[in-house]
Amino acid sequence: MAQLNWVFLDDFGGRHKVGLYHGDRTGHVMIHCNLKVVQIDFSVKDTKMYSFFIEDELCEVILEKRKDGAFAYEFRVNKKVDTPRNRVRRVQEGQNRKYMTMVAIGIVVVLLLAFFGLKWYGHTQELKKIALSGVVGNYSKSNMKRLGAEGKRTVARLHLSQLNSGKEQTISYALLAVDSLMDQGEFKVPIGTPLVLPTGFPFTEGDEFEAIYLPSDPSIHRVNFFQPTRVTTTRYLEMATKVEREKHPAVSPERSVCRVLTAAEHSGWPVLAHIIFQEKTPEENKRYNQTTYEHLWTDASLIQAVQEKCKHSR
């Protein structure tokens, strides 16, 4: 005798035990659910299916006779036939599909917003980085690549535009050729005394910086404030030396000059800004001030360099 048992869990958490008896010789069939008989049949010698309800679910037990004469048995819930429960299920599944579609659309929208947001953020950060180091004419990534591949070097000279009212002052620049003006542009800096370039150094009329331009279209160019010409670097050295002498009168002029030159040689010309603005408080100048100046001279290697190179000056 074939004897099988299944456990069916309904959508509401109910647990139902389904059992089947099928006699080997007689072929008699009995199906029970939760210890109650739901189907009886006699002399079942071939494939047959039995249907019955558990709560509102249409359930089926299939007896399938195989080629070798043995039977295979299956219990299943019919979710396709038209029953009240299946109609409700189809409505719920339709709602679920709509919900999942909306969720999928929402995820796609969020991913697209994140993608374009990150792209915009990256573009904005790149522009901010460029703005801190220089000025770009006709900025685009393709133009930057062309500048890198085809650009030629020149000099950009800065001039003060007419004084503005408000919080910003316009500074213009001109790209110089040997015998002509190739292109020009402008940028803005916060109004202050003195006017300060994006590098943090004070602006002086006629400051010059290296620039790169596209020979076929000079309007595509970049002015690099971190590449001052020798004239401008010399001016920064003169400013730093003047401030150093004024703020430390007990030190000989020769030693003041030596300290400034050694600092620039040892740490690079940008450290001159610490010396130029050494009288400023952090509130007056967050970037270069008394604190950053004092920190500059805590560098043991710089102190040693000054001691070696300035030992003959007092």
Within 10 Å of residue 241's Cβ, how many Cβ atoms?
20
CA pair distance 100, 207, nearest whole angstrom: 63
Tell me what pLDDT residue 130 has: 56
- Element counts in the chain: helices (H) and strands (E): 7, 13
Tell me what pLDDT residue 142 has: 87
For the cut 60, the answer to whether the pLDDT of residue 131 exceeds it is: no
For the cut 60, the answer to whether the pLDDT of residue 203 exceeds it is: yes
Confidence class of residue 164 from pLDDT cuts 50, 70 and 90?
A: low
Residue 270: closest CA among 251, 304, 308, 296: 296
CA pair distance 289, 305, nearest whole angstrom: 23
Q: What global pTM score does this model have?
A: 0.59
Confidence class of residue 126 from pLDDT cuts 50, 70 and 90?
A: low
Confidence class of residue 192 from pLDDT cuts 50, 70 and 90?
A: confident
Model pLDDT for residues 232-285, shown as the tens digit of each residue: 999 999 999 999 999 999 999 899 999 999 999 999 999 999 999 999 999 999
Tell me what pLDDT residue 276 has: 96
Give the pair of three-digit tokens for residue 214. Answer: 């596209």
Tell me what pLDDT residue 181 has: 74
Domain map of the chain by residue range? Answer: 2-78, 136-227, 232-309
Helix (H, G, I), strand (E, B) or coil at 216: coil
Which residues are within 8 A (CB) of 29 and not within 5 positions of it... i.e. 6 or more apart? 20, 21, 22, 23, 39, 40, 41, 42, 44, 48, 50, 63
For residues 156-175, average pLDDT: 85
CATH 2.40.50.100 fits domain 2-78: no
Model pLDDT for residues 2-28, shown as the tens digit of each residue: 899 999 998 888 999 999 999 988 999
* Residue whose tokens read 């003169």: 238
Model pLDDT for residues 66-121, shown as the tens digit of each residue: 999 999 999 999 998 988 888 888 888 888 888 888 988 888 888 888 777 776 66
